[in-house]
Structure 1
């Protein structure tokens, strides 16, 4: 097969750089914020409030946020959200410098950062096809680069940098993240505007949000693509909840060893993102997605029965590779087949399902471990992943994928009759 030598547009490099810089800042804050919270309290419930506050916006405003993104200019939404998050980080940084930082303030900041992330992530997902077109091959290439560098920046470079900066003072990592968001905002601000017209829709926001959600639930392919991360989050959070305890009690690993275990998973994620296009060419997108889902389930099963840290590390690396490939193939396919005027709503609905599922996984993991033993959540997660693979395999098979791609190639982006965006497009 002849290699595709087409180049991504120049603007993609700026978007790529912006998201890489922002991801580095995310990695810094991901390590620093929990440690900063620990300097304020040792109450587990208080720490849980800070963690939960960051995910709450997706539960409260996920679909509505997608409807707003579909109304707004996506590039402007991205740079405004990054600029706002840069300014927001200055608040706890100043509070830390003045020694007035508190758990309620950190929780409020986490909530607002999560809200900004909701709008930015949804707009970025919807903007990418506007920037580079709807060719699945080009979208895969772009998503692979974005996913790879985000994993490297947030998973490898950011956390140790955050810990090192925290040693210089509580405000230092917060200021570093503020700078990363400001740089990202400037880069995104320089990107070309989307070619399509952005409508000032007058239809009910709730009705538009409902239309986006129903579009996902009525399309078996899109529903299958949404179920995978939702069910996957239940399984992976169940594992994550007990992984540290499992590593300590059953694998005999210390804190440094546990860090290496997580690094193995991130390394697998990088490899998976890199081989995603190869899997799609060899197997077809649908079969590749089914394969990666099965690999994840089998890898978690391998982790559950791992006799030592080395086998556990290999299992997590294989699981990470499956996840990395899935997170390139799934979004690329969605971006290629969903009409542009619905992209924000479809993306946010899918993300909201995944975010809502995460707390269920954490609760399930904790309950199973306390009731039946620490290995039980791992076996349950593996069973859940393999069952999900079997259920969704017909929903996302090659035949459905190819039919959806053909339909997307044949149909121009004309909004639904009840959607004001369509009325404007027709005019």
Structure 2
């Protein structure tokens, strides 16, 4: 049974590399885990379905944030931003990539729309990427950085939830740590992510890439945005709605309530007419529905791994061979986190599982609470980048594949895995021994 996690995650990765749809790949991995654990095919499927409700709130929040993002796009403020990005950065590839990473960072803490901004902001820029011969893999790496690093380090927005999960999970398992210490534990791993981003922008994808897109008429594309040059009242009201959503989300610690507040404000301010409600909701569901359903399936997969005892068996077996080696223990914990998170695709959903297993192990090996928090946080995040089921990879692909020329696995998952998981592993080890 201890091999159920490893084999099922390998099944997920192999099926995804062969470009099978991620939904089918997740179902195949979950059934594989159940069969290895001794369940029948029927029982495996039933357990998968029963666990899908475990992340219903997250799926609902993504749908609502998708609707909110469509409303933001309806206001025209996105076109206003794109127009000025085109004018300021169209001949500066590195600056454009770093700016995209910065905008993505804002989506985690300041404007909590997470990945919902990507299908609105990125498609209008695709012609610019092609004209500047920018490798879209560099854009995927920049977006994934902005979707991960802020919540790992900054305790606001999604980061508030991430830090609270780490603190509460550690406290529940017998190791006390203050909420204000979590960001200190995550600082070194995030430095590793910054290094990975800079390597991608200035070294790996520095050279121009021929896109094969043919002749791109930049002037015509820019003229398509000519009506978005002026800052209008609707833009101001949209910014107010965004602030309201952020304040309510932080106050209530609920993304669902925050998103509903933003949606209500857009209707109250008449930025979006009530008559357009059906269309905006449909567009929001269309944009985020696939990702929300993947999150539900990932929750069901996590349930199969947990309820069959596969994760506990894996850690129990590995802990027997550790002896008293802190180095070996830290390596095993990070590799275990990589395996589990690659399969589940959610650092948030992985943290409680890992904390229950890692806190006793870390205490027996003599790791401090800060070091333990660094190991748990890094182990939870390390497989998020590169996972076919992660919103940190699904989001970038949704925007970059708008013209059907960006592959989810080879153009998003593989580059983000290499540029972030390797430095996260190294810096996670360093944090365990420095803190």
TM-score norm. by structure 2 comes to 0.30
TM-score norm. by structure 1 comes to 0.30
